[in-house]
Amino acid sequence: MANKVALSSLVTMTTKHLSSGSSCPPLEDGVMRVYSMKYCPYAQRTHLVLAAKNIKHEVVYVNLKNKPEWLFEKNSLGKVPVLQINEHCLFESLITCDYLDEVYPEPPLYPAQPLKKAQDRMFIELWSQISAALLKLYFSKKDEQIMKKSCDDIKSGLDVFETELTKRGTKFFGGDTPGMLDYMIWPWAERLPMVEMIARNNGVLTQDRFPKMLPWMVDMMEDNAVKTVYLPPEAHLKFLTTLDPDNSRLRSFL
Amino acid sequence: MKYCPYAQRVRIIIAAKNVKHEIVNINLKSKPDWFFEKNPLGKVPALEKDGALMFESMVICDYLNEAYPEPPLYPADPWQKAHDRVFIELWSKVSSPMYKVYFAKGDQHVLAQCFDDIRDGLDMFEVELSKRGTCFFAGAKPGMLDYMIWPWVERLPMAQQMAGDDDALPEERYLKLLSWMTNMKEEPAVRATFMSPETHLKFLLSHISGSPEYDMEE
């Protein structure tokens, strides 16, 4: 199945994943650019906010297994996402997203009240139980033990969000439309159906346990910003198999 | 908890903003049940106000900065503010190896590696402070970046002592940071929470031994 990221009208330039030895495409004054990797959930956060705010930008993809030297000039940690305008480079996904939210205030992605905003930021931090479990799943041998532990961690992490969404009584955490919290957690939520595919009996997304989070996922997939960055489970699985090419069990799900 | 550097961040901001508050210290080795009822992850620092509870030191400090706008602790320019937040993140290059020093059990090889890492991390901040050309990272007065890194800077002399190397952080390599440290120690918000290297060392040794003395006499 061919999977293409829908090139939205906001993206004015994009590249293949550039590697060591490549030169960095020159950047014109005043143009916003994000350095990214197509399957990186952290970079996907920045893409989501760029789309939600309708910001024209370039995308330069980098090969994270064979990093171009110039990436370290922009981010000494050598990670994506990096947001660049002129000589200014910002990194750490949350910092890039908060920056965009401040410079492009419409639509506002955080609640106006400081206490409510702080609660949302705290929930963004709480999601790390799920992102950490997914990271383990991606970068470890995908044996039954690890799969089961990862799935258990994902489920107990999701319980907290199920409770909170129920408490808020709204379609999204942000209200009638998605807010920063919705977008910041989305990249990993997007990957959960892929986990379902490979987890065999360790089902993660059950209706009885997540009666609010499951419809939330469906509603998020209708959101325009999510639609511009969305990759289906098969695409995520295909990428996962390239990280672990000797794993025939994984490839059997393709 | 009195000796927790993350909790110290919050106490510094509370002092900088002059906010009336109560402190409830938690025994982290034996957390009270009621604490988990309020705060399911049982973490400190935690801030409770108007029935809402939040944790994560940066979330709390940013909240306090927004709820009590004077004095403003971030630059007004969004890019400058984001740049400061990046440096707060980069501080982990110093704080992470510091933890390894505490638990090195005198292993010289580990200690040497840790101090290499600490020095590399501090170099970044020395360069940045020189670039800015101001007394504090924030300018003429300390701001969020200055305050957020302070708790670990306060613990650096103790880390040096533990490593048994008085020249682990050579003066000539950190001229700007050293005068910044002197200036920080004069700041009211820092003085409000400051503890001496001896106090830090006494607590840390009790912590390493497995019996942290949270209520010890200083």
Render pLDDT for B83-101 as a digit per residue (tens, 0 to 9): 999 999 999 999 999 999 9
From chain B, the residues in CB contact with A118 under 8 A are 54, 59-60, 62-63, 66
For chain A, give percent helix, strand, coil, nearest 5.
50, 10, 40
State the best of A75, A125, A153, A181 to mutate against chain B, taking most chain B CBs within 10 Å: A125
- Given phi > 0 = left and psi -120 to 50 = alpha, else beta, which region is B55? beta
| A72: amino acid identity, one letter | F
Each residue's pLDDT tens digit, A160-182 = 999 999 999 999 999 999 999 99
Per-10-residue mean pLDDT, chain B, length 218 = 96 97 93 88 91 92 97 97 97 95 89 94 97 97 98 94 84 95 98 95 91 90
Q: Are the beta carbons of A102 and B86 separated by less than 8 Å?
A: no
For B172, which DSSP code? G
**pLDDT value at A5 more than 50:** no
Instruction: Please state at what angle helix A180-198 crosses helix A213-221, rounded to 10 degrees.
Output: 110
For chain B, give percent helix, strand, coil, nearest 5.
60, 5, 35
What span, in angstroms and rounded, lies between the C-alpha atoms of B46 and A128? 18
Residues B76-102: b if buried by 16+ CB within 10 A, e if exposed: eebbebbbbbbbbebbebbbebbebbb
Give the pLDDT score at A1.
31
Distance of CA B36 to the CA centre of its chain: 25
For A118, the closest of B41, B63, B79 (CB atoms) is B63
Find out whether A45 and A183 touch, Cβ atoms under 8 Å: yes
Q: At A108, phi and psi to the nearest 5?
A: -65, 135
Q: Are the beta carbons of B79 and A88 separated by less than 8 Å?
A: yes
Query: What pTM, to 2 d.p., does this model score?
Result: 0.93
Burial of residue B124 (CB within 10 Å: 0-12, 13-18, 19+) is middle
Give the pLDDT score at A14.
87
What span, in angstroms and rounded, lies between the C-alpha atoms of B3 and B16? 19
